[in-house]
Amino acid sequence: MFKFRDNVVFRFNLLVIFFFTTWAVIIMGSAAIIMFKEREFWSVIKGRFVRENVAVEPYRGNILNDNGELMVSTLPLYKIHLDFVYKNKKDLKDERNIQSKRDSLWTNEIGALCDGLHEIFPEKSAEDFRRDLSYGYRNKKRYHWLYNRKISYTQYQRIKKLPIINSGTKYSGIIVEEEIQRKNIFGDIGMSTFGIVRKTTDKNKNEIEEINGLEKKYDTYLRGTPGVGRREKTGGRFILKVDKQPENGMDLQTTINSEMLDICENEVEKVLKKYHLPAGWAILMETHSGDIKAIVNLTKLSQGNYAETIENIPNNPTPNHALCRLMEPGSIFKTIALTAALEDGRLTTQDSVLAYKSKVAFFGKQKVTDEMYRDNGTGKYSMSEALKYSSNISMVQYIKKAYAKNPEEYTNRLKYFGLTDNYNLIDSEATPYLTEPGTKRWNGFSLNSMSYGYAVGMTGINMLAFYNTIANGGKQMKPRLVKAVVNNGEIVEEYPTKVLNTHLISKETTDAVTGLLIDVVNGKDGTGKRAKSEKMLIAGKTGTANIPNSITGKYDNSEKMMSFCGFFPADKPQYTLLIQMMFDAKQDTRPDSLKIKLGGGSTAAVAFKEIAEKIMAHQYDAPVEEAKDTINNHEPKIKAGNIQDAAYLLDELNIKTAKANKGDKTWGTANFEENGTYTFKEREMDIEVVPNVQGMGAKDATYLMEQRGLKVEIDGYGSVKSQSIPAGRKTRKGETVRLVLRP
Q: What is the pLDDT of residues 562-591, one digit of tens each?
A: 999 999 999 999 999 999 999 998 888 888
End residue of a domain, out of 587, 619, 651: 619
Question: Rounded to the nearest 5 degrees, what angle is found at the Cα of 13, between the Cα atoms of 10 and 16?
Answer: 155
C-alpha to C-alpha distance for 626 and 618, rounded to whole angstroms: 16
- Do residues 660 and 541 share a domain? no
Instruction: Say which CATH number the domain at 688 has.
Output: 3.30.10.20
Of 264-268, 307-311, 371-375, 572-576, the range with the lowest mean pLDDT is: 371-375
Q: What pLDDT is recorded for position 630?
A: 54
Question: pLDDT class for 207, splitting at 50, 70, 90?
Answer: confident
Check residues 243 and 118 and name the one with the higher pLDDT.
118
- Do residues 230 and 329 share a domain? no
- Do residues 268 and 122 share a domain? no
DSSP state string for 100-147? HHHHHHHHHHHHHHHHHHHHHSTTS-HHHHHHHHHHHHHTT-SSEESS
In-domain check, residue 377? no
pLDDT at 169 over 50: yes
Check residues 239 and 617 and name the one with the higher pLDDT.
617
pTM score of the predicted model: 0.73
* Total of domains in the chain: 4
Q: What pLDDT is recorded for position 4?
A: 47
Question: pLDDT class for 223, splitting at 50, 70, 90?
Answer: very high
Show the domain range for 712: 641-742
Question: Average pLDDT, stretch 181-210?
Answer: 86
- Do residues 33 and 75 share a domain? no
- Do residues 553 and 592 share a domain? yes
C-alpha to C-alpha distance for 69 and 534, rounded to whole angstroms: 34
Question: Average pLDDT, stretch 147-157?
Answer: 86
End residue of a domain, out of 202, 223, 253: 253
Of 85-94, 423-432, 546-555, 621-630, the range with the lowest mean pLDDT is: 621-630
Instruction: Say which CATH number the domain at 587 has.
Output: 3.40.710.10
pLDDT at 1 over 50: no
pLDDT at 663 over 50: no
Phi and psi torsions of 120, nearest 5°: -80, -40
Question: Average pLDDT, stretch 98-119?
Answer: 91
Question: Average pLDDT, stretch 132-159?
Answer: 89
- Do residues 241 and 293 share a domain? no
pLDDT at 25 over 60: yes
C-alpha to C-alpha distance for 599 and 522, rounded to whole angstroms: 18
- Do residues 472 and 612 share a domain? yes
DSSP state string for 515-539? HHHHHHHHSTT-TTGGG--SSS--E
pLDDT at 310 over 90: no
In-domain check, residue 380? no
In-domain check, residue 679? yes
